[in-house]
Amino acid sequence: MINKLTLQNFCVSYGTKSVIDAMNGEFFVGAVNLVVGRAGSGKSSLLLAMAGFHKEFSGSIATDGDKFIPDGNFSLTFQNPESLFFNPTVGDEIEFSLRMLNFPASQIRSEAENWLRRWGLEPDLYYHRHPFELSGGEKRRVALAACTVARMPLILLDEPLAGLDGSGQKSLASILESLAREHIVVVVTHEPEIFLTPTSNILFLREGQGSWFNGNDFLRQALTDNLFYPLPEWYYTAVRPYKNEPFLPVINAVEVGKFLQKAGQPCS
């Protein structure tokens, strides 16, 4: 098990263009780690560099003091779920990671089916279908299930919310929250409010520089300065009255949404 991942003087570049400049900080177990920032700020590049797919980086990544080598110990979902598919059936896609980790053969099928069900896809309906035949949201769920089924020590997700409906987003937030108890989960997203908790670890990337926040501080900053990070209007309206409280009461969008629905207010 890896407890924390430490970035030291971490720089990512494309040729002569620097995307992330001498960043220091930590991702850790216990809460979902979020990476936010505008398009082109280097979020996806950071994940690709951590996974070893993008080679133009300098600095180091350490795990509990040792150098981190990405080799069979991480999973990564790409922005485009189709980039992840190469098997003829959904079942094969889900089973792949388990086979790679030498999971007991007799348990692979049942484990894969259970995990698929956890992501809201009934195995009887989906297990033998070709991944490319599915709808956008179903593809996303299959990709997420395929990447998380093996519960790797480091789980990297690049914009996992895209294409998911409301229930899919709730499942995702709930599954990632439970995975984050024992694994390092790093999520690149444009909708951090879905995952926010007061203890969330947030890396905010802007103009090559990384700033680290906990959920409470990030939200307070966003409520104070709309240019810092634009929150959805309904969420902003719901949370703004509490911005001067020492601790913001409920900051997870799913909970805020439930609260607003009970109060009879729109939350779209």
Q: Minimal distance in Å, beta carbon 70 to other proteins?
A: 8
Q: Minimal distance in Å, beta carbon 153 to other proteins?
A: 11
> How many C-alpha atoms does 164 have within 13 Å on its Cβ side?
26
Q: Minimal distance in Å, beta carbon 210 to other proteins?
A: 23
> 86 or 230: whose CB is closer to other proteins?
86
- Tokens encoding 199: 């203890």
Alpha carbon distance 155, 178 (integer Å): 12
CB 248 within 8 A of CB 216: yes
Alpha carbon distance 113, 121 (integer Å): 9
Type of residue found at 100: M
CB 127 within 8 A of CB 89: yes
> 108 or 202: whose CB is closer to other proteins?
108
CB 219 within 8 A of CB 251: yes
Q: Minimal distance in Å, beta carbon 241 to other proteins?
A: 43
Q: ∠ CA 90-92-97 to the nearest 5 degrees?
A: 115
Q: Minimal distance in Å, beta carbon 95 to other proteins?
A: 10
> 38 or 99: whose CB is closer to other proteins?
99
> 88 or 230: whose CB is closer to other proteins?
88
> 155 or 161: whose CB is closer to other proteins?
155
Q: Which residues bind other proteins (CB under 8 A)?
A: 51-53, 71-78, 83-88, 96-97, 100-101, 132, 146-147, 150, 152
> 113 or 193: whose CB is closer to other proteins?
113
CB 88 within 8 A of CB 155: no
Alpha carbon distance 63, 29 (integer Å): 11
Q: Minimal distance in Å, beta carbon 69 to other proteins?
A: 9
